[in-house]
Amino acid sequence: MIHALPVARALRRALPDAELTWIVEAREYAILRDHPDLDTVVPVDTRLWRRMIRRPAGMRQVWDKVGRLRTRIRHARFDVAIDLQGLLKSGLLTAYTGAPVRIGFSASRCRERANALFTNRRVTPPPEAAHVVEQYLALLGPLGIIPGTPDFHVPIPADSSRRIDDFLAKEGVKPGDRLVVINPGAGRPEKQWPVSHFRTLAERLITEAGARVLLAWGPDEAHMARQIGLELPGGSALMAPPTDLGELTALLSRARLMVANDTGPLHLAAALGTPALGLFGPTRAVRNGPFGPRCRGLESPDGTMAGLSPARAFETAREMLEAPA
Mean pLDDT, the chain, whole residue set: 92
Residue 137 · residue 10 · CB < 8 Å: yes
- Provide the 3-class DSSP secondary structure of residue 255: coil
Residue 144 · residue 121 · CB < 8 Å: no
Comparing 51-55, 94-98, 138-142, 148-152, which segment has the lowest mean pLDDT? 51-55
Query: Does the pLDDT of residue 56 top 90, yes or no?
Result: no
What is the pLDDT confidence band of residue 115, given thresholds at 50, 70 and 90? very high
- Model pLDDT for residues 190-247, shown as the tens digit of each residue: 999 999 999 999 999 999 999 999 999 988 888 999 999 988 876 689 999 999 989 9
Q: Mean of the pLDDT values across residues 125-138?
A: 95
What is the pLDDT confidence band of residue 52, given thresholds at 50, 70 and 90? confident
Q: Which residue has the higher pLDDT, 219 or 257?
A: 257
Q: CA dist 62 to 21, 23, 54, 65, 204, Å?
A: 23, 18, 10, 5, 50
Domains of the chain, start order: 5-143 (3.40.50.2000), 158-322 (3.40.50.2000)
Comparing 65-79, 169-183, 272-286, which segment has the lowest mean pLDDT? 65-79
Comparing 116-120, 171-175, 234-238, which segment has the lowest mean pLDDT? 234-238
pLDDT score of 47: 76
Please tell me the distance from the alpha carbon of residue 179 to that of residue 214, in angstroms, as a whole number. Answer: 7
- Model pLDDT for residues 73-103, shown as the tens digit of each residue: 888 999 999 999 999 989 989 999 999 999 9
Q: CA dist 83 to 32, 104, 155, 197, 250, Å?
A: 17, 5, 23, 38, 29
- Neighbour tally for 235: CB within 10 Å: 9
- Model pLDDT for residues 267-281, shown as the tens digit of each residue: 999 999 999 999 999
What is the pLDDT confidence band of residue 128, given thresholds at 50, 70 and 90? very high
pLDDT score of 55: 77
pLDDT score of 234: 65
Query: Does the pLDDT of residue 72 top 90, yes or no?
Result: no
Query: Does the pLDDT of residue 316 top 90, yes or no?
Result: yes
Query: Does the pLDDT of residue 148 top 90, yes or no?
Result: no
- Please give the model's pTM, rounded to 2 decimal places: 0.88
Q: CA dist 140 to 7, 144, 164, 219, 294, Å?
A: 8, 7, 37, 35, 26
What is the pLDDT confidence band of residue 53, given thresholds at 50, 70 and 90? confident
CB contact set of 93 (below 8 Å; sequence gap of 6+): 23, 44, 73, 83
**Which amino acid is located at 227 in the chain?**
Q
